[in-house]
Amino acid sequence: MKGASDSVSRLVRLARLEGEVDVRCLLAGSFALENPVAAPGSVPFHLVLAGRCTVTSGATTVHLGPGDLALLPHGDAHRVTATEGPRLACEEEGGTAFPTRRTPGAEPQVDLFCGHYRFERGAGALVFRLMPALVHVSLDSPALTLAEVLRGEAGFDGPGTRAIVAALLDALLAMALRSRPEQRLDTPGLWTAAGDDALGRAVAGVVERPGEAWTIDRLAAAAGMSRATFQRRFTARTGTTVVALVTAIRMMVAAEQLTRSEHSVSRIAKEVGYRSESAFGQAFRAALGMSPARYRREAAARR
């Protein structure tokens, strides 16, 4: 899975994500936490270290236990609930890095971190747009170790805590994206194609060399499959189509180039596989809602 993991690393870096805990919940009894639609550029998450709760978004409900991470890539409104025991009042106390919500006078049954990932308009938006509306991952042993470090930092809550927490959350997201299919409970395929060596290598190839002519026939031949078999398997394992993923990856790389380099738009177009600046501009507008030139101006203004 080296190729797929490398593609995860590259795209996470391109997205320039920043994780932040909004509140830690140490609660007993039953509760219901309402979460409105997230602000633009924000993706909510919930990480359970102890106890059990559920996340409901629309008609979908997932059950979380220790070591489970729920991510809402489209920022949909949702509710986090627990139904064991009586409904008890809770209090929120401030902290250096983030507040903690507690059930006073009761032993906590649920240890829950609620937060969000912020991303820049461009690559970050495309990374999450490729995901299903609700991602539910059961973390593996290395990720659980990081989660325990997060718990320790939350207890320390002193100088450096905010920076350490942000770094831990970035690592946890990367681990969730590279998770194997059996870890992704209630979640359809992810664009990483983790768990499928042939498809993982194909995704990594597009990420590493977006300017090459990545036709469906070429990718299918590289995977040793017929065109029809490759397309069916690709959609089942990645949750998207070949064309949609190739285009999204190219636009992520282009957005990064427009933001971080002084290369001309025509040069960037060629570097991500477009023969003409016009065709590139149309694809970029379709993906990000503005021309490459305007995107570059707005990115410069934000910096």
pLDDT at 143 exceeding the cut of 90: no
Residues 136, 255: one domain? no
**pLDDT score at 4:** 52
Coil vs helix vs strand at 292? helix
Q: Is the dihedral of CA 212, 119, 70, 80 positive or negative?
A: negative
Average pLDDT over residues 104-110: 93
Residues 131, 99: one domain? yes
Residues 166, 119: one domain? yes
Backbone angles phi, psi at 71, to 5 degrees: -125, 135
Distances (CA, A) of 282 to 242, 266, 278, 279, 301: 19, 13, 6, 5, 23
Residues 174, 220: one domain? no
Any domain includes 231? yes
**pLDDT score at 181:** 84
Residues 240, 213: one domain? yes
pLDDT category at 168 given cuts 50, 70, 90 is: very high
Distance (Å, whole) CA 203 – CA 170: 21
- pTM for this structure? 0.88
Residues 62, 203: one domain? no
Any domain includes 291? yes
Q: What is the CATH number of the domain that holds 286?
A: 1.10.10.60
Residues 35, 170: one domain? yes
pLDDT one-digit tens code per residue, 234-275: 998 888 999 999 999 999 999 999 998 999 999 999 999 999
Any domain includes 187? no
Q: What is the CATH number of the domain that holds 112?
A: 2.60.120
Q: What torsion, rounded to 10 degrees, do the Cα atoms 242, 226, 8, 72 define?
A: 50
* Residue 145 lies in domain: 16-180
Distance (Å, whole) CA 92 – CA 23: 9
Residues 171, 211: one domain? no
Instruction: Decide which of 180, 214, 241 is a domain's last residue.
Output: 180
- Count how many domains the chain has: 2
